[in-house]
Amino acid sequence: MPSAANDGDHTERELARFVVSVAVTPDDITAAVKCCDERYRKIYASNWISHPDAFFVARNEEGSVVATAGLEFGWTRPAIDCERYFLLTPRMRRFIREHRDHLAEFGRFSSKETDSRAAQAVLHALITYCQQSSVDYLFAWANPTVYQHGAEQLGVPFWVVDVDVNEDEVRNDTHWATPPVKFFLRKDPPKLLLAVIPFFDHVNDRLSKIYGEPLSLVS
């Protein structure tokens, strides 16, 4: 199986005026969860009740967490979240099943900064992690405002897959503090997103030119 984050390895790198690390200590994870949960509760009136397999955290010069991004690996669970939250076709489900050992799902994305650098910092770390591990396919889901901002302002374009939300699963979900109805069931609902990591090479090279040499996150 592909390797996850190195236990006890608090790898970090200065990115512009931010320091990005993989949260591995209880204090780091707690700080990341707090930042992410506050943002989600403010916008969506709910939050996740668990943390991801790898949690990327950007801190400012004062040491405060200002951006987060998470990865959940296909090989660590029987199903990734998009298999629950979207009405995937049988061919889509077969693709995920056949590539489960080489895919991950991106989420827990939040940023407190008014500019784009903190968000770009955690995305650079996340993509680099995927490049340095065995992740070939990256799934995500976000509302149109977020994925358009990601493509146009952050320089990280995903393929937007037009597939309907599974309303019954959302209303009966137990993975959030309360069912994430406000997140999923609205006029402009989230879309399923997909990236093929080898084809993100130029995307991450551009981020690396902003912040210096690529990170080394996976041995």
* 171 within a domain of the structure (yes/no): yes
* 96 within a domain of the structure (yes/no): yes
Query: What CATH number did the domain enclosing 70 receive?
Result: 3.40.630.30
The closest alpha carbon to 56, from 2, 104, 114, belongs to 104
Beta carbons of 88 and 82 less than 8 angstroms apart: yes
* 4 within a domain of the structure (yes/no): no
Supply the pLDDT for residue 50.
87
* 7 within a domain of the structure (yes/no): no
Q: How many domains does the chain have?
A: 1
* 218 within a domain of the structure (yes/no): no
* 120 within a domain of the structure (yes/no): yes
Chunked mean pLDDT (size 10), the chain, 219 residues = 42 62 88 87 89 90 89 95 97 97 94 78 92 95 92 94 96 94 93 97 88 51
Query: Using CA atoms, how far apart are residues 155 and 207, in angstroms rounded to an integer?
Result: 8
pTM across the whole model: 0.86
* 214 within a domain of the structure (yes/no): no
Supply the pLDDT for residue 8.
40
Burial class of 45 by CB neighbour count within 10 A (0 to 12, 13 to 18, 19+):
middle
Query: Using CA atoms, how far apart are residues 22 and 20, in angstroms rounded to an integer?
Result: 7
**Token pair of 201, please?**
């090479």
| Structural domain boundaries, residue 155 | 12-209
Supply the pLDDT for residue 116.
80
* 215 within a domain of the structure (yes/no): no
